[in-house]
Every structure is written in structure tokens, then in C-alpha cells.
Amino acid sequence: MYDIIIIGAGPAGLSAAITARSRGKSALVISGPCADSGLYKAPVIDNYPGLPGISGAELSDRLAKHAEDAGAVFASGKVTSVLTSDGGVSVGFGSEFESGRALILALGIVQTQVFPGEAELLGRGVSYCATCDGMLYRKRKVVVVALAPDAHAEAEYLRSIGCEVTEVTSTKIKILGDTNVTAVEIDGAAVPCDGVFILRKSIAPAALLADLDIRDGHLVVDENFATAVPAVFASGDCVGKPYQIAKAVGEGQRAAFSAIEYIDKGAD
Ligand SMILES: Cc1cc2nc3c(=O)[nH]c(=O)nc-3n(C[C@H](O)[C@H](O)[C@H](O)COP(=O)(O)OP(=O)(O)OC[C@H]3O[C@@H](n4cnc5c(N)ncnc54)[C@H](O)[C@@H]3O)c2cc1C
């Protein structure tokens, strides 16, 4: 078990990792491809103190090396589930799970669109990961809502294990069913199925963890960067504007300090 799991390898997440390590806490950073972070996309940065003219890619590489040299562990993958318990958090990405005493969400600007029926039927026919849940739907009818670059490959994987796959790229989607998914309405037409894989580039925080408080598209945190869920902290663009690197770095550090305090109180 790690002390702190951090989702996101932008400036907020990497700053949190550096701070966690400087206080002797183990830290796992889980992230999608680095090119997905807002930082990596910035061609030239002229307002980060001390490093005028640096490119986003170079700053990203330097921050990642700093965190790695400090002893942070890195894993790549899209986190699709977070479970909390008294003992901490458990985070699912791909077919892997890791657990930690505290979690810091540093997701960047997050998409918040959730289809009607999606949250209600999550885990009861709605899935975000074919690799993790595909076998549950072997030889059954599934719909793949393909909104990420790797979605077609995931649909092919489902076909390879015998699923009857309907692949769609529409965003006019409604998930139907009372206790389990029975159909997906696509552009007004119902397609009967046993499961639906919604494969987006990023996952809406509300879909990761239902009890998070979200306002105007941002995660709500208190002055200590704690979310509404115990053991879960958040920082950077996902908690609000201005969307700036210096802000993200400072908030990542503060979220890490709060997570450390939370862990140390529990250990008393
Ligand atoms: C083109 C461009 C130019 C910019 N120029 C500047 C500038 O000059 N100066 C400035 O201060 N700011 C600039 N910004 C803004 C700045 O890049 C952001 O404010 C900053 O990167 C936010 O940091 P962050 O850590 O919150 O998020 P990000 O840097 O966006 O990092 C988010 C991380 O979360 C990961 N992630 C998200 N969801 C998941 C999931 N479910 N599972 C696993 N990983 C996940 C992503 O892969 C990524 O690693 C610019 C942004 C852009 C796009």
C-alpha cells in the first residue's frame, strides 16, 4: 500500500509527488500519456517564475525527473474507478489496482458530461474499461461508445472474446434499464444490449467517485484542498481557474501537505 496515490502527472500531480517524497511518504503517480496534460501542450511558457521561455514539454520532463529522482513511483494508464474505505482508497486502472492511505486528484481540466442513466447503472452494465470488465460480457451484446483514440482497439478486443459489438461515436446517448443495462438509445433509436462501454479520453470525476462535490465543472475543495470525500484531496486545473502552472504547482504542494497531515493523524 502506498501512502499517497496521485492521479495526474501535470504540474499539480508532480508537485504533490515531490512534496510527498520530501516528507518521507511513498507516492504513486498514475497518469495517462504525458502529451495529454495541459502542461505538455504549452509551446512556450513565459510566466513560470525563474524559467522564462521554457517549453511545456521540457518543464513536464523536468518535473517528472525531479519526482522520479525523489523516489516517486510512476504507472501509466487511465484510472477508471476509485473506491474508498476506512483504511484508504483503492484505484483501478487498466487491469491493475493499487491502494493508498490518501488520494490526490490532479486531473487537469476535466470533462463533466455524464450521459443520462450512466451514473445510475455504473457497475451494472456501464463500464469504462474493456480490458477490465470485458470478460463479464463474453458472447453477449455490448455497445461501445467510442470517444477516445484507443476505443476502436478496445472494441476489437471485445470482438476477439466473442462479444457482439455495436460501435458508435455519437454523443446523443441515453443508457436504459432499471436494475441493469437493457439498451442504449443512440440518436433516438434503442439498441438492446447487456452492457455499454463508454470509452472517453478522460473520465468525469463524478463517474470516478460518486460522492465528490462538483460545481461549475470543478471539484469543490476546502481551504486545505480536501474534497467532500475523506482521504481524497484535489488540486490544479480540476479545482478551478486560473488555469496556470504556478497555481497548479502551489496547490499540488498544499494538497500533499494536507494528505500527509491526514495520514499522520490516522497513525497517532
Ligand atoms: C496550449 C496551452 C498553453 C498553455 N500555456 C500556459 C502558459 O504559458 N502559462 C501557464 O501558466 N499555463 C499555461 N497553460 C495552462 C497549464 O498548462 C495548466 O494550467 C496546467 O498544466 C494545469 O496543471 P494540472 O496538473 O492541473 O493539469 P494537467 O497539466 O492538465 O495534467 C493533468 C494530468 O491528469 C491526467 N489524467 C486526467 N484524468 C486521468 C485519469 N482518469 N487517469 C489517469 N490520468 C488522468 C492527464 O493524463 C495529465 O497527466 C497552457 C495550457 C495549454 C493547453
Reported as a single tens digit per residue, the pLDDT across 40-51 is: 888 899 899 999
Residue ending a domain, among 173, 200, 227, is: 200
Reported as a single tens digit per residue, the pLDDT across 160-173 is: 999 999 999 988 99
Pocket of ligand 1 (CB under 6 A): 7-13, 30-32, 36-39, 41-42, 45, 47, 78-79, 106-108, 202-203, 236-237, 243-246, 248
Q: What is the pTM of this model?
A: 0.87
Candidate of 107, 212, 219 to mutate for ligand 1, largest count of ligand atoms within 8 Å of Cβ:
107
Query: Is 150 part of any domain?
Result: yes
Asked if 51 and 97 sit in the same domain, the reply is: yes
Residue of minimum CA distance from atom 35 in ligand 1: 8
Asked if 18 and 84 sit in the same domain, the reply is: yes
CB 225 within 8 A of CB 15: no
Asked if 107 and 220 sit in the same domain, the reply is: yes
Asked if 6 and 106 sit in the same domain, the reply is: yes
Over 60: is that where the pLDDT of 211 sits?
yes
Quick one: average pLDDT of 185-202?
Answer: 92
Candidate of 6, 19, 31, 111 to mutate for ligand 1, largest count of ligand atoms within 8 Å of Cβ:
31
Quick one: average pLDDT of 180-207?
Answer: 91
Which ligand 1 atom is the nearest neighbour of the CA of 41?
Answer: 1
Looking at every residue in the chain, the average pLDDT score rounds to 92
CB 73 within 8 A of CB 2: yes
Q: How far apart are the CA of 69 and the centre of ligand 1, in A? A: 22
Residue ending a domain, among 200, 217, 252, is: 200
Reported as a single tens digit per residue, the pLDDT across 115-152 is: 999 988 988 999 988 887 899 999 999 999 999 888 99
| Count of domains for the chain | 2
Q: How far apart are the CA of 237 and the centre of ligand 1, in A? A: 7
Asked if 135 and 98 sit in the same domain, the reply is: no
Q: According to the model, what pLDDT value does residue 87 have?
A: 80
CB 143 within 8 A of CB 166: yes
Asked if 26 and 155 sit in the same domain, the reply is: no
Q: Give 86: exposed, middle or buried? Use CB within 10 Å, 0-12, 13-18, 19+.
A: exposed
Residue of minimum CA distance from atom 41 in ligand 1: 79
Q: How far apart are the CA of 238 and the centre of ligand 1, in A? A: 9
The C-alpha atoms of residue 73 and residue 218 are separated, in whole angstroms, by 27
Asked if 188 and 224 sit in the same domain, the reply is: no
Which ligand 1 atom is the nearest neighbour of the CA of 78?
Answer: 42
Asked if 33 and 106 sit in the same domain, the reply is: yes
Query: Is 64 part of any domain?
Result: yes
Asked if 177 and 221 sit in the same domain, the reply is: no
Domain that includes residue 189, residue range: 126-200
Asked if 228 and 242 sit in the same domain, the reply is: yes
Query: Is 69 part of any domain?
Result: yes
Which ligand 1 atom is the nearest neighbour of the CA of 238?
Answer: 26
